[in-house]
Structure 1
Amino acid sequence: MKLTKSLTFFSSILIITSCTSDSESDLTNNTPINENVTYTGTIRNIIDNNCIMCHGTTPTNGAPMSLTTYANVKDAVLNRGLLDRISRPQGSPGMMPSGGTRLPQSTIDQVVQWKNDGLLE
């Protein structure tokens, strides 16, 4: 009986102390949202890690163009539907990377932000 009361008391203390009254600022991401995304600082790495295996200097596996330079990637965003292709649902026809896993939404959002920021080099 004494053990049951002790366990109940300890459990109550544990529950009460695990609850906090965090403010909203404690719960939100404090990373500035308006930092400019640049090709050199962000986008080149995304392209190199996900696209270059087919969109290299000499495109392979049916890739229609190279994505090895700032000018190539900028043109792909503005004129060749790159944002549409990387934003398609997993398994959709034409989804990129072809035959792979859809990029994480946060990565796609960085490419969108790069476009919105003016395609900064």
Structure 2
Amino acid sequence: MSETLFTKIINREIPADIIYEDDLSLAFNDINPQAPVHFLVIPKKTIATVNDIAEADRELVGHLYLVAAKLAKSMGFSEDGFRTVMNCNEHGGQTVFHIHLHVLAGKPMGWPPYSEKLKV
């Protein structure tokens, strides 16, 4: 698999505003925030899409959510609430093919998350 933007961030080849790191994951502020708080939690292991998550990755993917909750609490928005999103492939809005958990907070979130009406 080719190196992604996120691999380069993990390897410190390009800068990022890193807010958390452990042996399995890295979290950094999104460069194009869609909410007052918007950061990504990524695994250090490259997994291209949700479709590529294997049974062996179960704990790793769960770990990403635990990191998101830990950061939400430490940053003071866990009680107000937040949204987590993991996009998959082009129609799902995925632009970097290395799974990543978006964490958005700091304002009330509406549903559906888009303004365009669904055309069925």
TM-score under structure 2 length normalisation = 0.24
TM-score by length of 1: 0.24
Normalized per residue, the structure richer in strand is 2
- Which protein is bigger by CA-based radius of gyration? 1
Structure that is richer in helix per residue? 1
